[in-house]
Amino acid sequence: MLGLEAGHGLDTSQLGDIIIGQVKECTKHPNADKLSLCKVYDGKDTLQIVCGAFNVKTGQKIAFAPVGAVLPGAITITKAKIRGEESLGMICSEKELGISEEHDGIMVLNKVAKVGTSFINYWHNYSEVLELDITPNRPDCFSHLGVARDLSVKTGSKIKSPENQLRSFQKNEAENWIRLKFENENDCPRYIAGIVKNVKVGPSPRWLKDRLESIGQRSINNLVDISNYVMMDMGHPTHIFDYDKLGSKEILIRRGKKGEKITTLDEVERKISP
Domain 12-126 sits in CATH at 2.40.50.140
Question: What's the pLDDT at 128?
Answer: 61
What share of the chain has pLDDT > 70, as a percent? 96
Count Cβ atoms below 10 Å from residue 251 Cβ, excluding itself.
14
- Cα angle 264-11-148, degrees, rounded to a multiple of 5: 65
Q: Is the pLDDT of residue 173 over 60?
A: yes
Q: Is the pLDDT of residue 34 over 60?
A: yes
Question: What's the pLDDT at 220?
Answer: 87
Question: What's the pLDDT at 8?
Answer: 59
**In terms of pLDDT, which residue wins out, 162 or 71?**
71
The residues of the chain that CATH labels 3.50.40.10 are 174-271
The residues of the chain that CATH labels 2.40.50.140 are 12-126
* Average pLDDT of the residues in 59-81: 95
Q: Tell me how far apart the alpha carbons of residues 168 and 82 are, in angstroms, rounded to a whole number.
A: 61
Q: What is the pLDDT of residues 87-134, one digit of tens each?
A: 999 999 988 998 877 777 899 998 889 999 999 988 887 766 677 888
Question: What's the pLDDT at 7?
Answer: 64
Mean pLDDT over each residue of the chain, to the nearest integer: 89
Q: Tell me how far apart the alpha carbons of residues 206 and 111 are, in angstroms, rounded to a whole number.
A: 10
**In terms of pLDDT, which residue wins out, 94 or 20?**
20
Task: Tell me the CATH architecture of domain 174-271.
Answer: 3-Layer(bba) Sandwich (3.50)
pTM for the predicted model, two decimal places: 0.61
